[in-house]
Structure 1
Amino acid sequence: MRKITKALAPPPSFTDWVRRKPADQDENQWFEALYQQQQWGIVSDLSHCNAHEQFYLCAYCCDRITGDSADTVNEHVEARKLNRRRSLDHLNIVASCKTKKQCDAAHGSQPLPLTPLMSECETELRFKLSGRVEGLSDRAREAIRVLNLGDTEQNNKALIEKRKQLVDGLIWANYGDDPDQLQLEEDAELIRMLIDDLARPQNGKLEPFAPVLSNILRGRLAA
């Protein structure tokens, strides 16, 4: 995960929809009405706004999303069934990928104790060059389980392999060395430069899984 700062205002079309909520419907019912009434323009505005704010990375796995309905869904960090009153709260809605059996599709209505809205999401998850992720706290381990973020190949081999492949590609592009031979411990300044580069969007976008490699490199600095 990468810390998401909800600084952008929600799209005007969504704000207008919230204001139009009938008195006889609660927040969850009115959010569901977006889809029941096929208000696809509002749904699209919301997902594109969140994707833009997240530099076009999934809120959970940090893979590439476009904001389009083909690969992006409006995801409630605190599930609507757990807190119906936050169904229309833009601060509770992020853009997630639509990958089967992970992220939004795995979350469902389960409580999520560690979220991308918390700064600790960048320190309580530890990523490895193998593509696996490890939870450093009970809530991190639970978040990995809930979102199926790939702590073992048995749980999510596809994500682990994709993460490793793209992280290896980022290392080649930014460091120019064999990822298996990555030895940066002796050059802290180079590591810091790479972390800064990885956090710098190009044309409003971050590279897929760039926060994962940043996490790995920060681990090298702390070692």
Structure 2
Amino acid sequence: MRKITKNLSPVSLESYKRRNPSNRYSDLSPQNDNDARVLADVGEACTKEQYFLCAYCCCEISGAAEDTRNEHVQARRLAPDLSLDFNNIVASCKTLAQCDDAHGSQALGLMPLMQECETELQFTINGRVKGLTEQARQTIDVLRLGGERDNNRSLIEKRKRLVEALIWSYNENPDEIFTESEETLMCLIDDLLQPEQGKLQPYGPVLVNILKGWLGAVNITA
């Protein structure tokens, strides 16, 4: 995860809320042209502010309905009054049995709207993620993010493969990345955090987390 900074709510969503003050998200019908526009605007706005990465696993998303879903971080069943609150909506991938599809109506202890999502999850070069707090471990389990308990092998292998490919794209060997100087690794982190044409690289925040974790451990033992 990377911390998401929410921008202004789409005009179409705010207009819908003014016209329908008692409605909930479930009242928006994809079969209605006006409602479909609202749903699309919300998805597009979320995708752009997330730099085209899934709010949970950081895979690439397009913002289109084929691979992206409007996701409520506080589930609609648990927080019905927030169902049309743009600050409670993010863009998730549609991968089966993880992220939005796994979330359902369960509570999340750690959310991508919290700064702690960048410090309480610890990713490793082998594709796994470890929760450093109970709320982080609970969230990993709920979203099936490839931790020690949920064992989402598909995501673990995909994350390992794409993080390694990302390292190779910088002409670095994944087996030797931690032998580089602190200055080199900091430059790599800075580059990964810079969007290109409004997009971050898929799983870029995961590699940033790995590198920051390594640098932090080195500085502690130094």
> Do they superpose with TM above 0.5?
yes
The answer to which of 49-58 and 9-18 deviates more is: 9-18
SS in 1 for 2:61: coil
Alignment of 1:14-53 (within 5 A): 14-22=13-21, 25=22, 27=23, 30-35=24-29, 38=32, 39-53=35-49
1:215 and 1:201 map into 2 onto residues whose CA distance is 16
> Structure 1 residues 137, 154: closer, same or farther in 2, change over 3 A?
closer
Match of 1:171 in 2: 167
Aligned length: 215
Q: Match for residue 10 of structure 2?
A: 11
Asked whether the 8 Å contact 2:144–2:150 carries over to 1, the reply is no
Residues 30-74 of structure 1, C-alpha deviation per residue, up to 9 Å, x if partnerless? 311112653222111110000000000000000000100001111
Q: Does 1:97 align with 2:96?
A: no
Say if 2:93 and 2:100, in contact at 8 Å, map to a contact too: yes
Q: 2:84 aligns with which of 81, 85, 88?
A: 88
One-letter amino acid matched to 1:190: T
1:213: Cα distance to partner?
Answer: 0.1
1:180 equivalent to 2:172? Answer: no
Alignment partners' CA distance in 1, 2:96 and 2:151 = 12
The farther-off stretch of 30-39 and 120-129 is 30-39
What is the aligned-residue RMSD (CA, Å)? 1.5
Provide, for residues 109-134 of structure 1, a one-character-per-residue CA deviation record: whole Å limited to 9, x for no partner. 10101000000100100000100001
Residue 134 of structure 2: aligned partner: 138
The answer to whether the 8 A contact 2:108-2:142 is kept is yes
Structure 2: unaligned runs, 5 residues or longer: 218-222
CA distance in 2, matches of 1:36, 1:70: 14
| Residue 180 (structure 1) shift | 2.2
Q: CA deviation at 1:155?
A: 2.6
Partner Cα distance (1:178, 1:12) in 2: 46
Q: Which runs of 5+ in 1 are unaligned?
A: none
Conserved in 2, the CA contact under 8 Å of 1:153 and 1:160? no
Asked if the contact 2:5/2:113 (under 8 Å) is kept, the reply is yes
SS at match of 1:82: coil
**Distance of 1:109 and 1:154 partners within structure 2:** 18
